[in-house]
Amino acid sequence: MQNHTPGSYILPCLPDLLLFACICILSLSHTHNNFLAYILLPTCCLFSHVHEHHHHITQVRHAQGVHNVEGDTDHSAYMKPDFFDASITPLGWNQVDLLREHVKESGLAEKIELVICSPLSRTMQTAVGVFGGESCSNGVSVPPLMVENAGRPAVSSLNCPPFLAVEACRERLGVHPCDKRRSITEYRALFPAIDFSLIESDEDVLWVPDVRETFESLAERGMKFIDWLWTREEREIAIVTHSGLLSHTLRMYSKECHPTVAQEVSKYFANCELRSLVLVDRSMLGSDGPSYNNYPGKMKIPAGLDLPSDDKKQPLQNQSG
């Protein structure tokens, strides 16, 4: 791999990827309904030539959860009932504050049209903390995104995009109490301005105590979620979800890429890590493209104990994200 300016390098890709041949991070050859052929690209590049029908996807893994801390030293801790719907830690809130600062300073906050989050406390806390409004003021009549004592002072829903909870982007389902959600009735009381209308069941009917979702099922769910994103009219979307879903989904879509590219794409997300991708229909693109990929590296979010996923060099049954 040839080096260029700091944080910039050429990524080798498959010969059949004619467009963006030097910069594409992965090709999504998986198709549904015989018409979608996707390419995901890092948004550090200049995309003035990209067709208007695209989606800029900002992916964020939740901040450090209480289950991540103990699970690092004792993997059986993920089985503890005490970690039911785990919230984020004080360090996790610090991670949220730093990422929020970056999102605002970079101008990304002004571009986001929709925030989608997994309906678990740790993801909704992270989403609200990073992309939500400021602290609530007395006398404001609009419902807050998060009420006081749901993790920190109440967060306003003013001057921020709408928030939508979606079951399809949850963490791997089953067995681990930390991955079981509360009732939607409870969540609506804690996060009044988040839209839960797409969730059909008040109680968690997807999580079962004795069967862990397979990696294949998790990846398939993630790919269907990507397909659904394509149907959204919003072009700038932030997703706050889990490392298991992100990594297994991207791993499926990177199988045809050069091993170096595939390895980079499917790396596990650290707590509160942000990565941006562009989702486009390959058939709508021309053959021209920039030559280099400017990939400056990961956000400087303070590291915590964040062992997330079920297959990150640990026994499959003993981890959670």
pTM value?
A: 0.77
Q: State how far Cα 104 lies from the chain centre.
A: 18
What per-residue confidence (pLDDT) applies to 139? 54
Does residue 293 surpass a pLDDT of 70?
Answer: no
What per-residue confidence (pLDDT) applies to 70? 87
According to DSSP, the residues that pair with 58 across neighbouring strands are 238, 276
Q: Beta 54-61 vs 236-241: how paired, if at all?
A: parallel
Nearest to 115 by CA among 251, 286, 239, 292: 239
Structure confidence at residue 191 as a pLDDT band (50, 70, 90): very high
What per-residue confidence (pLDDT) applies to 321? 72
Q: State how far Cα 207 lies from the chain centre.
A: 20
What per-residue confidence (pLDDT) applies to 135? 76
Q: Which CATH entry fits the domain spanning 8-318: 3.40.50.1820, 3.30.360.10, 3.40.710.10, 3.40.50.1240? A: 3.40.50.1240
Tokens of 11: 């990524």
The residues annotated with a catalytic role in the active site are 62, 171
For 104-139, b/e burial (b = at least 16 CB within 10 A) is eeeebbeebebbbbbbbbbbbbbbbbbbbbeebeee
- Mean pLDDT value across residues 194-221: 96
Per-residue model confidence as pLDDT tens digits over 44-96: 333 334 445 678 899 999 999 999 998 878 888 889 999 999 999 999 999 99
CA distance 134 to 162: 14
Are the C-beta atoms of 228 and 204 separated by less than 8 Å?
A: no
Are the C-beta atoms of 240 and 118 separated by less than 8 Å?
A: yes
CA distance 65 to 305: 9
Per-residue model confidence as pLDDT tens digits over 20-37: 222 333 333 333 333 333
Q: CA torsion angle for 36, 42, 45, 49 (degrees, to 10)?
A: 10
Please name the helix (run of DSSP H) or strand (run of DSSP E) that holds residue 226, with its range, or none: helix 215-231
Structure confidence at residue 187 as a pLDDT band (50, 70, 90): very high
What per-residue confidence (pLDDT) applies to 144? 92
- The mean predicted confidence, pLDDT, of the chain is 76
Cα–Cα distances in angstroms (integers) from residue 181 to residues 43, 60, 187, 298, in the given order? 32, 19, 9, 29
47 vs 220, higher pLDDT: 220
